[in-house]
Amino acid sequence: METKRSKFIKDGFIKIEHLITQEEVDSLRTIYDGLLGDKVKTAHLRSDLAGADNSTNSRVERITQIMRPSTIAHELINNSAYKKAEQWAKDLLGEDMELDFDMMINKAPYTNTPTPWHQDAAYWIAMPDKRSASCWIALDKVFVENGCMWFIPKTEDNAILPHKNLPNGGALYCEIDSSKALSMPLNPGGCTFHDGFTLHFSRGNTTETHRRALILNFRPKKMIDYEREQGVDHTGERKQRN
SS3 of 172, please?
A: strand
134 interacts with ligand AKG by CB under 6 A: yes
> If binding means CB under 6 A, how many residues of this protein chain bind ligand AKG?
10
Q: What are phi and psi of 144, to 5 degrees?
A: -55, -45
The verdict on 147 binding ligand AKG (CB under 6 A) reads yes
Q: Answer yes or no whether residue 213 interacts with ligand AKG by CB under 6 A.
A: yes
Q: Of 14, 93, 127, 215, which lies in the binding site for ligand AKG, with binding defined by CB under 6 A?
A: 215
Site string for ligand AKG, 92-111 (x = CB under 6 A): -------------x------
- 3-class DSSP state for residue 104? strand
Nearer to ligand AKG, 1 or 176 (CB): 176
Spatial CA neighbour of 153 closest among 194, 192, 185, 113: 194
Contacts 24+ apart (CB under 8 A), 74-83: 75/31, 76/31, 76/102, 79/24, 79/27, 79/28, 79/31, 80/20, 80/24, 81/19, 81/20, 81/24, 81/28, 81/137, 81/214, 81/216, 82/216
**Among 154, 200, 212, 238, interactor with ligand AKG by CB under 6 A:** 200
Residue 61 engages ligand AKG in binding (rule: CB under 6 A): no
The contact pattern for ligand AKG, residues 166-185, with x = CB under 6 A and - = no contact, is --------------------
Q: Examine residue 14 and tell whether it contacts ligand AKG (CB under 6 A).
A: no
Query: Considering the complex, what minimum distance in angstroms separates the CB of residue 21 from ligand AKG?
Result: 22
Residues near 20 by beta carbon (within 8 Å), at least 6 away in sequence: 28, 80, 81, 84, 137, 189
Chosen residue from 136, 173, 197, 218 binding ligand AKG by CB under 6 A: 136
The secondary structure of 64-90 as a DSSP string is EEEE-GGGTSGGGGG-HHHHHHHHHHH
Between CA 190 and CA 235 the distance in angstroms is 26
- How near is the Cβ of 187 to ligand AKG at its closest, in Å? 16
Q: Give yes or no for residue 202 binding ligand AKG (CB under 6 A).
A: yes
Instruction: Restricting to residues 109-128, name those near ligand AKG by CB under 6 A.
Output: 115, 120
Question: Should residue 190 be labelled a site residue for ligand AKG when binding is judged by CB under 6 A?
Answer: no
Q: Which is nearer to ligand AKG, 2 or 103 (CB)?
A: 103
| Torsion sign, CA atoms 75, 221, 102, 53 | positive
Residue 140 interacting with ligand AKG (CB under 6 A)? no
Contact call for residues 121 and 196 (beta carbons, < 8 A): yes
* Residues found near ligand AKG in the complex (CB under 6 A): 105, 115, 120, 134, 136, 147, 200, 202, 213, 215
